Structures are given as C-alpha cells and as structure tokens.
Amino acid sequence: MSRPNGQQKTPHFSRDQELKAYREMLLIRRFEEKAGQLYGMGLIGGFCHLYIGQEAVVVGMQMAIEEGDQVITTYRDHGHMLACGMDPKGVMAELTGRRGGYSKGKGGSMHMFSKEKNFYGGHGIVGANVPLGAGIAFANAYRGNGRVCLTYFGDGAANQGQVYESFNMAKLWKLPVVFIIENNKYAMGTSIERSAATTDFSQRGRSFDIPGEQVDGMDVRAVKDAGDRVVKWVRAGNGPYILEMLTYRYRGHSMSDPAKYRTREEVQKMREEHDPIEQVRRRLLDGKLVDEDAMKTIDADIRSIVNGAAEFAQHDPEPDESELWTDVLLPA
Amino acid sequence: MPTEILMPALSPTMEEGKLAKWLVKEGQAIKPGDIIAEIETDKATMEVEAVDEGKVAKLLVSEGTEGVKVNTPIALLDGEGAGASPSPRASASPASAPTARGEGPPKASAPSASAPRPLPADVRGEAMAGAETASQTMREALRDAMAEEMRRDKDVFLMGEEVAQYQGAYKVSQGLLDEFGPRRVIDTPITEQGFAGIGVGAGMAGLKPIVEFMTWNFAMQAIDQIINSAAKTLYMSGGQLGCPIVFRGPNGAAARVAAQHSQCFSAWYAHIPGLKVVAPSNPADAKGLLKAAIRDPNPVLVLENEILYGSSGPVPKGEWIVPIGKARIARTGSHVTIVSFSRGMHYALEAAAELARNGIEAEVIDLRSLRPLDLDTIIASVKKTNRLVTVEEAWPVCSVGSEICAQVAMQAFDYLDAPPVKISGADVPMPYAANLERLALPSSAQVVEAVKSVLYV
C-alpha cells in the first residue's frame, strides 16, 4: 500500500467542523488562561505547563480519530485531556489538588488519566511516554482490535534515545501508532537549532523506514487532514507514521519560565499572524458562516464552562488524609 | 608428546556435562577450528573446536558419557607435526564464543562457590507437606510457571531478548515459542528501556506482559520505566490505571563476570512503593511465586538467580501458588534467627547444618518476598531466639539486611540478647579474580562465625 501523500491545497472545513474546532480550541485557550491565573494566585502548585498556542494540534487530531482510539502525551497535557472530552471541572480540580480531580488530587497537572476517554496520561519524564504509547499500540495489535494510539511528544523528547528504540520496535512489529511530534521550537529554553542536529523531525524515522511529514500545526484544517490520511493508513496495518506538527507555545515552558531565550517580537508575530483560533474565527466571520452575536454566545458559553471549572476547583475539598495510603497497590 | 584435550566449561556455572558425540575418530588429522565433539549441558548443546593441529591419538571418554567434569582429559592429540604447541590445558574451546550477554559470559575456570548444588532438604517448604512433588530445576519450574499461566490467560505474553527462537539466554523460556507461537513469545531488540516501556504500555492497556531481562544488570537501562511508569501510575491516576506486569530475570552475583554483570539489586527495588519484589531460593518457590506474580494486578519483579537456575528440588504437581509477602520458616530452631533470601539461603542453610553439629539450633527464615517484607514472621522468631543474623549477597549499605536489623531494633529491641549481625557482600564492585570474587561474597563460614558471635560462643 502506498503511503499517504501530503495534501497540496488547504483542505476545506464545513461550517459545523469550523464551529466544532473553534469551540474546542477556545475551551483549551480559556482553560489554560484560567489555569495561569489560578497559578498566579497560588491555587495551583508545582509545575504547570500551558498549551496556549498549540491548540490546533490536538483538536485537529482528535477530529481525525474514532471512538476507542487512544491518546497518550507528556506533561503539557491539559489540552489533550479537554480534547479527549474529559470534564474541565475534574481537570481543573486536579490542578488545584482537590479530591474531585481526575487523580483525586494525587497526580497534579502532569499526571491525569481517563480510562473512560482512552486518555493514558499525563507523563512527566521527557520521552518516557513514547514507549508507553508504542506499548498501547502493541496491545491493539495483540488484540487485533483495529484501534490506533496517538502518541504525542515534543521536539525536546525527539532527541531521547528511547524514542528511537520505540520507532525501531513499532516499525519492526508494525504497531498501529501515530507518533506526533509537537515541534514548538523550544525544548524548555533551548531552541531546536541549538539542541537538534537535524531539525526536520518528520524525517527522524528514516533509519527505520517510518514515513513522516511536516504539518502546519497552527491550522486545524491541515492537522485534521493529515490526521485523517495517516490514521487511516496506520489503522490499515501499515505500521507507524510520524507527524511533525509545526506549532508554537506562547507562554513559557512552565509557569516559572521568564522565556528570555526568545524575543517578544517573535511571540507577537506568531500570535498575530498564525494564531490557530483567530484563523478559524476569521473564516467563520468573513465567510459569514456565523454572525458576531453567535460568536459572542460561544465565547460566553466557554467562559462559563471555564469559570465553573475554576469555581469547582477552588471549593472542592482537598483529598481526605486517608488517601495518602490508597492506590499504591491493587488488591491481589 | 601427546596433548590432552580437556572437557571445556561452556558457561560460568558449568561444572560438568555430557559428552554427546564425537565428530572425529582416532587416527584422524585435525586442525584448529575443526569441530571435534558435541557437549550437552542442562542449558544447551555446544560444539567443541580443536585449538591445536595434530592427529587424534586416543578418545579417552566415550560418546554418551554423562557427568564429565570440566577439565577432565577427553582425548589425546598426537603432537607430531603439530608444531610446538604442547598446551596441556585449554586445548579445546567452545565453538560459539560466549558473549557478555549470552548464556556463556566468560567461562569459569575454578569451580568456585558458584556451582548449582542440590538443595539441602529443608529448603523445601512446609506448605508442600503432603503434596505430590516432582524434582525439577529452577529453570524448569520457572518455565512451567509461565507456560501454565499462558495457557490459563490469553492476555499473558512473554517478551525479551532471546526469549523465543534462542529459547532464552539462560534457557528459561525453553519450548515456549513452540507452544505459544511468535505472537505471545516475542524476541525484542537489545533495547531495555524501549521494550520495558512497551511492556508497561501494554500492561496499562490491560494485557499481562512478562518482560524478561537477560539479567537485571541490563534493567538499569530501563529502571525509569520500572519505577516512574510501572510503579507510580496507579497512584498518580488516583487508582484508575494500574499495570499488571512481571519483570523477571537473573539477579545477584554470577560467576567470574566482574563488576557490571554481577550484582544484587534487591534493595534498589525493595525501596519502591508501588512494586512487589520476590526472590526465590528454590524451584518450588520460584514456580509458586512466579505464578502469583503473573496473576497479581500490580507490577511484580522476580529476582531470579543464575547460579540457582540449574539447582533441583521438589516442586508440587498441579496448581501451586506461593503467596507474595509471606516468608517461610525453612528450618526451625530456638538459639538464633537467620534471615536470608535467594542464594543467601544456601549459605544460611549450610551454616545451620554445621551449627547443628555443634548443638546450635538456628531458625532459618527464607524471605521469599522482599516487598512487602514479612516482618511479622521475623519479629516473632527473634522474640523466640533473641538473636539475629541476616545473610545476603548484596552490598551492605541500605540493604535488605539493613532494613531488617533496623526493624528488629525498633520493634523487638527488648528481646535482643546481642546486637544483630549483617552478613553481606563486600562493599566493592565485584572483582574478576577468583580469589577476590570469593572474598567479595558471603560464605557459610561467615554465617557460622556470625551466629557464634551473637551467641557469645
């Protein structure tokens, strides 16, 4: 079977698709802004890695998969959880370390999971989730269940050795996994030019004959289109595929990052010219698919969901002290 | 002058083997590299190559002879025309050069304290009393445990280096590929971190992987996946996502393989909440603990021991499960409590037998599980004997023995009539030289001395 060819012209979205993408991306954007705010208020502790700017990647890919397909990612995971349909209240309450959080407050920002939504975390060691994703795909192949596992990681993780160990076995065993490299150009504070000998990450599978392509990760339509083609190809039993999503994070690596390694102008230029949400918003309004009032209604609706989540996350009690000792082992 | 061709050692732990077949005849001329014989051990059949040139003068051991000791002369080579190479020793070498990874790391030259010996009778479990048993090696017992569980549960599979076509680097997975096929018995590339992670991912997705590490030394490449991914996910997910996985392979000192291939990781893993750790000392426990491990919904580490793979003992027929977290009183006694595990049990029981000849009755406890640790059994015994000696091969600092001494001091201080003594490996990287290696490992003599010291005799 031939490999999926890169799309030449920008794919078209229907009105419903545009609206869905807009809503989903806006939810992530507003949620993350609120998380940043709560962090500043001292309500969220530790590390908190915001996804602002990268929303089109996960939303576009989520539009390309089927019920039952799995998702696993690193610690910049809030967007992935919301896109998987996890409840913003449960996610935000986990950020504040409360009992109603997805991990009962024991995981925090970097460690949430939902069996129900096929979201496998939420992993804090750079690169370590890549073999795990290949392992979930291994289970799919073992069972022959036709499921595909989307395994996300960043340009920083793409330099880790275990990523290549996973590439090798995924190709060798034709595992149904899409490796999605979210290239936001900075591994924490080190630009890809300073950390990677080759910066076209889509070609990092060449030694293993894993095909790959670069995708405009700021355009949700391009992401979904690539996702559609590639997920279908992977599902058909052709083995893994690499999608390098060219994207950008507006905020620092984590909340404590002053982001001195790049200029304000660079960030501003991405926001003004490539913002994934603004692109859809413009298409919806310019194409007169919806009017300003309808957009305001959506914005208000999203704000209320996020405010509701923040409200819940601030008032939900901390976990009961007895929870310290639970969930270490399952009863044999 | 004829040169002796000697029975070669084909692995660090081999003491004897069967001379399966001669491939040369008396009077035949041979040159270096010719295959002259086939030798069988319990692990493998190996070919023996000639090292010197000459004519086979006499075959000293006939085909089919079992139990030929290493270094026994098996043939004479007429040195006429062979040039001046009258090397009386080491005239033969295994055809396939052993590698640091394979079943044959550099071969043992001295029959040191490393040979598999039949277990003292009292290593056998009291729980087996009455059960019908058959004698098996630990290697066979482990294999049967996996085979039985794979028959029982289609989600159980085995992956690791050389587990399938090669039949296991230490032949523990012998026959499994034939029975279960390549879908369930999977050879991996030499990428411990990668395949450990794939195993953990498969476990999170609901399968029940058995991940074999060729040895636990190599698992250090994968320790992040074992600890950060396998052990912690259940907790980090608030109980949503567990990982039913078994990591297993040989742990502890091997023989003459030096520092990077000879070490005990018991304390490393016993330290980690979210893991269970077992370390069997005999075939019955090996089978029962491995079966329990495979059925356990948590990550379980089975620390096996290369030296013990060939040791035999009675294993109950039929269903046999040893509960994780329960120590076994291998020998009852009232004068002193000796606590050990894995190969340490062999030093402990040898010492106990020696002490008994002098009227000292030691109670010997085989931990079997290192996490959870069965402190109740230890404390109860110390309250009876009032004296404690721990025995292990690992390094002494922060070891399993350290933890036991600390717990006994905290929980039974008033019952102690002497400070506990901890016997361990020497606090150095494992040396290669045979004499130094012996000094780096504990011995039954050390245990005897330790017991005498806590008894003030």
Q: Which amino acid is at B181?
A: G
The residue in chain B having the minimum alpha-carbon distance to the alpha carbon of residue A139 is B202
Please give the mean pLDDT across all residues of chain A.
95
Tell me the shortest Cα–Cα distance from B181 to chain A, in angstroms.
Answer: 12
Please check whether residue A73 is in contact with residue A123, taking contact to mean a CB–CB distance below 8 angstroms.
Answer: yes
In this complex, how many residue pairs, one in chain A and one in chain B, have their CB atoms less than 8 Å apart? 153
Specify if A178 maps to a domain.
yes
Please check whether residue B2 is in contact with residue B25, taking contact to mean a CB–CB distance below 8 angstroms.
Answer: no
Residue A9 is predicted with a pLDDT of 72
Specify if A323 maps to a domain.
no
As to burial, measured by CB atoms within 10 angstroms (0-12 exposed, 13-18 middle, 19+ buried), residue A304 is exposed
What are the phi and psi torsion angles at B58 (to 5°)?
-160, 140
**Residue in the structure block whose two tokens are 């905020």:** A251
Please check whether residue B261 is in contact with residue B100, taking contact to mean a CB–CB distance below 8 angstroms.
Answer: yes
**Residue in the structure block whose two tokens are 């309450």:** A93
User: Distance (Å, rounded) from C-alpha B293 to C-alpha B301?
Assistant: 8
Tell me whether A160 touches chain B (CB under 8 Å): no
Smallest CA-to-CA distance from A169 within B196, B429, B323 is with B196
User: Distance (Å, rounded) from C-alpha B235 to C-alpha B274?
Assistant: 8
Q: Looking at residue B102, what DSSP letter applies?
A: S
Is this prediction's pTM over 0.80?
yes
Tell me whether A136 touches chain B (CB under 8 Å): yes
* Token pair for B236: 């980090």
Q: What is the CATH number of the domain that holds A74?
A: 3.40.50.970
Specify if A327 maps to a domain.
no
Q: Which residues of chain B have pLDDT under 50?
A: 81-98, 103-126
Angle between helices A276-286 and A220-233 (to 10 degrees): 110
Sheet strands (E) in B70-219: 73-78, 92-94, 133-137, 156-160, 185-187, 208-212
Specify if A269 maps to a domain.
yes
Over 50: is that where the pLDDT of A288 sits?
yes
Tell me whether A20 touches chain B (CB under 8 Å): no
Specify if A298 maps to a domain.
yes
Of A107, A131, A331, the CB nearest to B237: A107
Domain range for A83 is 15-313
Mean predicted confidence (pLDDT) in A215-235: 97
Provide, as residue numbers in chain B, all residues whose Cβ is less than 8 Å from the Cβ of A326: 239
Indicate which residue of B4, B161, B192, B393 is catalytic. Answer: B192
Tell me the shortest Cα–Cα distance from B135 to chain A, in angstroms.
Answer: 29
Provide, as residue numbers in chain A, all residues whose Cβ is less than 8 Å from the Cβ of B228: 124-125, 128
Specify if A163 maps to a domain.
yes
Q: Check A332 against B233: CB less than 8 A apart.
A: no
Region of residue B249 (phi > 0: left; psi between -120 and 50: alpha; otherwise: beta) = left
Provide, as residue numbers in chain B, all residues whose Cβ is less than 8 Å from the Cβ of A142: 157, 183, 202, 207
Residue B321 is predicted with a pLDDT of 97
Provide, as residue numbers in chain B, all residues whose Cβ is less than 8 Å from the Cβ of A105: 238
Residue A254 Cα distances to A98, A257, B55, B82, angstroms: 21, 5, 76, 74
Kindly report, residue by residue over B201-246, the tens digit of the pLDDT: 999 999 999 999 999 999 999 999 999 999 999 999 999 999 999 9
User: Distance (Å, rounded) from C-alpha B400 to C-alpha B366?
Assistant: 13
The residue in chain A having the minimum alpha-carbon distance to the alpha carbon of residue B274 is A328
Please check whether residue B390 is in contact with residue B422, taking contact to mean a CB–CB distance below 8 angstroms.
Answer: yes
Q: Is B282 helix (H, G, I), strand (E, B) or coil?
A: coil
Specify if A322 maps to a domain.
no
* Token pair for A320: 């009961």
Specify if A328 maps to a domain.
no
Kindly report, residue by residue over B123-146, the tens digit of the pLDDT: 444 456 678 999 999 999 999 999
* Token pair for A38: 């709560």
Kindly report, residue by residue over A289-325, the tens digit of the pLDDT: 999 999 999 999 999 999 999 999 999 999 999 999 9
User: Distance (Å, rounded) from C-alpha B293 to C-alpha B321?
Assistant: 9
* Token pair for B7: 């029975």
Q: Where are the alpha helices (DSSP H) in A41-122?
A: 55-62, 78-83, 88-95
Number of domains in chain A: 1
Of A123, A125, A327, the CB nearest to B238: A327
* Token pair for B279: 């370390």
Indicate which residue of B15, B103, B162, B261 is catalytic. Answer: B261
Active site residue B261: yes
Kindly report, residue by residue over B9-29, the tens digit of the pLDDT: 877 778 888 999 999 999 999
Residue B91 is predicted with a pLDDT of 40
Query: What's chain A's Rg over C-alpha atoms?
Result: 19
Of A105, A121, A169, the CB nearest to B194: A169
Residue B219 is predicted with a pLDDT of 97
Q: Check B193 against A131: CB less than 8 A apart.
A: yes
Tell me whether A148 touches chain B (CB under 8 Å): no
Q: Is A19 helix (H, G, I), strand (E, B) or coil?
A: helix
Provide, as residue numbers in chain B, all residues whose Cβ is less than 8 Å from the Cβ of A91: none
Please check whether residue B277 is in contact with residue B264, taking contact to mean a CB–CB distance below 8 angstroms.
Answer: no
For residue A41, the tally of other CB atoms under 10 A from its CB is 9
ipTM: 0.93
Provide, as residue numbers in chain B, all residues whose Cβ is less than 8 Å from the Cβ of A136: 201-202, 204-205
